[in-house]
């Protein structure tokens, strides 16, 4: 059964966590334990760091399980739509093929799924390359246990 997407806010920025996408890289809580503490409930404390520091950390999430929206960007009406990042697509994008692992997109991107749904991913996004992810197109860490060599 899929886990719910959770949101945490400090009034300025909202951190979005998708547990089913998380590959438990530990990067968030080893680098910013004041905000991301897996022992505490809730595990995200938005008062533990500045908005800028939280965004910096969220952008390092390799799976895209953590993302953020500036609260002013919440798509709450036709007058306040999601930002269109497709106009930025002309910039050079850094894509990394991880040994025996996913394709890592190191910047914000716009994903168009096979059913036509679109999604804006902030920071890093990992796409499954082994075919074993239960959360395609995203890597869920299954490559570690399925012996993927690539
Ligand atoms: S590459 Fe990670 S689950 Fe497939």
- At 10-64, the pLDDT tens digits run 999 999 998 888 888 899 999 999 999 999 999 999 999 999 999 999 988 888 8
The pTM of this model reads 0.56
- Give the pocket of ligand 1 (CB within 6 Å): 101-102, 128-130, 132-133, 139-143
How many residues does the structure list for the chain? 150
- At 56-109, the pLDDT tens digits run 999 888 888 898 888 875 454 444 444 444 444 456 788 999 999 999 998 888
Please tell me which residue, 114 or 3, carries the higher pLDDT value.
Answer: 114
pLDDT at 116: 84
d(C-alpha 137, C-alpha 63), whole Å: 11
Nearest CA to ligand 1 atom 2: 139
| Burial readout 55-76 (b: 16 or more C-beta within 10 A, e: otherwise) | bebbbebbbbbbbbbeeeeeee
Which sequence spans correspond to the domains of the chain? 6-71+87-144
Sign of the dihedral defined by the CA atoms of residues 136, 92, 59, 75, in that order: negative
């Amino acid at each position: 059964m899929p886990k719910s997407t959770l949101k945490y806010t400090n009034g300025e920025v909202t951190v979005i966590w998708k547990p089913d996408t998380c590959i438990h890289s530990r990067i968030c809580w080893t680098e910013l334990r004041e905000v991301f503490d897996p022992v505490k409930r809730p595990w995200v404390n938005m008062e533990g760091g500045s908005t800028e520091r939280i965004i910096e950390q969220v952008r390092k999430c390799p799976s895209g399980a953590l993302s953020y929206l500036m609260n002013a960007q919440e798509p709450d009406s036709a007058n306040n739509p999601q930002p269109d990042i497709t106009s930025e697509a002309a910039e050079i994008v850094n894509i990394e093929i991880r040994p025996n692992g996913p394709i890592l997109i190191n910047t914000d991107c716009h994903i168009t799924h096979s059913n036509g749904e679109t999604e804006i991913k902030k920071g890093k996004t990992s796409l499954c390359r082994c075919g074993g992810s239960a959360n395609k197109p995203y890597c869920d860490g299954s490559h570690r246990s399925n012996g993927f060599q690539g």
